[in-house]
Each structure stands twice: as structure tokens, then as C-alpha cells.
Amino acid sequence: MELAQTLACSLIVSRIDYCNAVLHGAPSYSIKKLQRVENSAARIIIEAPRQSHASPLLRTLQWLPIQQRIDYKVAQQHVDCCKCYQLAVIIAYL
């Protein structure tokens, strides 16, 4: 299970994180396709049947659904950017 999770994170989740700025505001059909990929990866990792509901599997793996993950990562980038700006303003006044 650990090897499968590592492979899924490196191949799927990292690609989604890489494209967060582009995916933010993307149409829902694009997000749904990515969600199906994430759900399939969760089923493979946990070795759950194809018909099993994906939400508990995502919770077990501590993964956010795609839309929430995109929103979280974009918000995190904004916070980091604001911190850098505040630091630059403080340094400018010193």
C-alpha cells in the first residue's frame, strides 16, 4: 500500500498541484475528470472494489477532493505572497 501511495502521489497529485493556478476557475467537467482519476487512484491504493464510495477512501488517505485541493493550494499561495509583501514593506521602512 505504501509503494502504491507514493507512486500515486508522485504521478497524480503532484501534477494537479503543479497546475493549481490554471485549474482554479476551470469548468466543472474538467474538475470532474480529475476527480475520477483521484478516486480511481484511491481505490487502487486501498484495494477497494470499483463500486466503493470514494469519499471515505480519500479521508483514509488524507487527500482532499480536487476542487478543495485547488482552492486550498491557491489560498496558500496568496497567503505566502502576502507574507513576502509584508516582509518587504517592513524591511523597506528599516
Read off the pLDDT band of 32 (50, 70, 90): very high
Mean pLDDT across the stretch 18-44? 89
Q: What average pLDDT is seen over the chain?
A: 85
| Cα–Cα nearest to 36, from 50, 26, 48, 23 | 50
Q: How far apart are CA 39 and CA 65, in angstroms?
A: 9
More confident residue, 20 or 54: 54
Instruction: Evaluate if residue 6 carries a pLDDT over 90.
Output: no
Instruction: Evaluate if residue 75 carries a pLDDT over 80.
Output: yes
Q: How far apart are CA 75 and CA 73, in angstroms?
A: 5
Q: Residue 38, SS3?
A: helix
